[in-house]
Amino acid sequence: QECISQYTSTDGVSSSIDFNSLFRDCFVLELGAGAAGLPSMTLAKLCNSVRGDALIVASDGVDEIVNALKMNIAANGLDDCVEVRHVDWNDYTTTTEDKDLTRAQVLLSDAVKADTILFADCIYNEEGAIALSDTIRRLLNPEGNVIGVLPDFRVGIDFFESVMKLNGFLPTDVAISENETSNAFVCCGSSGKDYRLLWWKHTR
């Protein structure tokens, strides 16, 4: 599995992204974390070392994967730093009526919005693109940030970017570097060059 994670310096990630505004003392939610939850675990390591506090929640929508995610986070000694929740994107789509949201609200309350949402390489079709975009819109603080990793070529990626724009999210491409001394984000893995790192802000 590819490891797309983040490298930061004391002064922040880059001239356009500041670590403190994205993560320090923030509620950070990873969507589609899979069994690994690498972005959440990377962030937890950074916060534990030099970066300050953050409420970090790693989530997935498949029970078996959620259980594996809990075990992996515990195996890395981060279960006190990263909370794991079951979040099914289908619970937050525009086709879901309010009366059907009881289970979703118990799992992740609509009243508690994330300051920053993370996701990495978790779109495989247009249906998933719509579900992810709708979930982001429902669970993100209006002033919040979205950090996502997208592959260059896959069904649903272009559609996802279009839907995000329609929902009022303005994207910024973030430089990716394989040089660990750089202040940019680091991609580890043979095909890291085939991925893009984007940062979205809501503009409406």
The pLDDT assigned to 94 comes to 63
The model's pTM is 0.81
Residue 164: both structure tokens together: 């995000």
What single letter denotes the amino acid at residue 85?
Answer: R
What are the C-alpha distances in Å from 84 to residues 5, 8, 59, 102, 161?
A: 19, 24, 6, 19, 27
> 18 and 9 in contact (C-beta within 8 Å)?
no
How much helix, strand and coil, in percent to the nearest 5, is found in the chain? 35, 30, 35
CB count in 10 Å sphere of residue 168: 13
The pLDDT assigned to 75 comes to 93
Phi, psi of 195 (to 5 degrees): -115, 155
Q: How far apart are CA 183 and CA 171, in angstroms?
A: 20
> 149 and 119 in contact (C-beta within 8 Å)?
yes
Q: How far apart are CA 185 and CA 17, in angstroms?
A: 11
What are the C-alpha distances in Å from 41 to residues 24, 79, 101, 126, 142?
A: 15, 10, 29, 28, 25
Phi, psi of 55 (to 5 degrees): -90, 115
Predicted confidence pLDDT, tens digits, the chain (204 residues): 333 344 333 344 443 567 777 888 889 999 999 999 999 998 888 876 555 577 899 999 999 999 999 999 999 999 888 999 999 998 887 654 444 444 444 345 555 789 999 999 999 999 999 999 999 999 999 999 999 999 888 889 999 999 999 999 999 988 766 555 444 444 454 455 688 889 999 886
Look-up of token digits 């515990």: 74
